[in-house]
Amino acid sequence: MRRIFIIGLLVVLHSTCLVLYPLPLRAYPPDDGSSSTEFRENLMPAEQGDAKAQVFVAYLYETGQGVDQNYTKAAEWYGRAARQGNPVAQTQLGNMYRLGRGVPQNYVMAYMWLDLASRKGSKQAVKLKSSVSGKMTKGQIAEAKKLLKNWNAKR
């Protein structure tokens, strides 16, 4: 009799658990087709500070590959990686400032990011910096160099 009571109690408890928790918990929302596997696999490392994953997530947002194209989010992710010193992110963020994509057009900020990337060997940044500096006043270039000096002092 006692065994039947215990078995019955376990069945009731088990059924209650299935009703209260019918689905497993997920770290990410279910795949509704709005994001690619590559995006989902790189999002967590990007959120945890991995600069290469941040650049990849930014690229996906910038190009609309696997996610809805969103220049603002692309600039945010490039910014995270750029502040960690990633030259690819610095180049891309500088170019976004140059074009006004996802951020307000700002030649001073473009110059600053492109200069940082060019110092790390980015040939693309050198070309873009030359292009943007041709559109800047002497005052804007001086302001960009002041930002660079402050940036370098903090590092």
Contact 92, 63 (CB under 8 A): no
Contact 77, 91 (CB under 8 A): no
Q: Degrees (nearest 5) of the Cα angle 24, 26, 29? A: 125
Phi, psi torsion values for 88, nearest 5 degrees:
-65, -45
Q: Which amino acid is at 127?
A: K
Average pLDDT score over the chain: 84
Topology (CATH) of 33-154: 1.25.40
Q: Would the CA dihedral through 94, 98, 102, 103 be positive or negative?
A: positive
What digits encode the pLDDT tens for the residues 19-65? 444 433 334 444 444 578 888 888 999 999 999 999 999 999 999 99
pTM exceeding the 0.85 threshold for the entire prediction? no
- Look at residues 57, 106, 117 and name the one whose alpha carbon lies nearest to residue 83: 117
